[in-house]
Amino acid sequence: MKLKHILTICLLALGLAAARGQEVKANIPGKSEQPAASVAKATTYTEPQLLEELGWYIGKRAQLSELELSKEEVDSVLKGIGLAASGKDSPFDLEKIGPAMDEFMQKKQATYMNKLKTKNATTNADFFKKLKENKNVVELPSGLRYEIVKPGAGPFPKDDQTVRVHYTGTLLDGSVFDSSVQRGEPAEFGLKEVIPGWTEGIQKVNKGGKIKLYVPPQLAYGDDGRPGIPPGSTLIFEVELLEIKAPGAAAAPAAKK
């Protein structure tokens, strides 16, 4: 109970990292980590350099840059860190200052999220305007755009069926947030259990074909975002349709796309 508000503060700060989608990496089966010694020759660092790196790591993990603190605010943060490092008690009663700290962090987070959504809205508009120049891209009334990369030779799936696919999902900057290709194993999804952009888009390619989906945020995750996917993001998927299963066929457990 004593640390309830401080825990909320930490979660809010780390929540900024999830919104920004940094440090999200796919696990690639069969690829083992190389020992550090075999990757690079050990370098000698001074203690001040190590401590500076420690400070950077703490600030990076807390996503302090997203709070857009002034120099004076940074000095206050460093003052608090100094008190903790010297073993001194909190300068204020944690239970009393907790609600005010929660409000402060929530306002900072809201400011950051609104700024991010506004930036993404502009980026999305510019992207789709440029995309109109690609005559191979089809625009649907829903706002979904798609491009047939390679036509298939089999049937087209229906929205009550399950599909087996290989796919890679990227943001507009090209960064990969999810990929069955990188994992080395196809995925299965019921078309009624995925984002609207997938439900509609995958029905436009037949078995054996490849399609590229340009999914605006209202057909993806909207302003909510996901780990690795900032709020208001347009998503690009390259999908190969490997198999279509009959309605009711069991699908392999998978996260909602």
Active site members: 167, 177-178, 195, 221, 237
Q: Across the chain, how many H-helices and E-strands are there?
A: 7, 7
Q: Which residues have C-beta within 8 Å of that of residue 17, sequence separation ≥ 6?
A: 23, 61, 63
- C-alpha of 153 from chain center: 34
Residues 163 and 186: their CA atoms lie apart, in Å, by 10
CA distance 23 to 63: 12
What are the residues whose beta carbons fall under 8 Å from the beta carbon of 65, sequence distance 6 or more?
59
Structure tokens at 120: 């993404």
CA distance 86 to 109: 29
Residue 133 in tokens: 């120049």
CA nearest neighbour of 17 among 112, 147, 89, 119: 112
For residue 186, the tally of other CB atoms under 10 A from its CB is 16
For 78, 83, 230, the CA distances from 26, given in Å and listed in that order, are 34, 38, 17
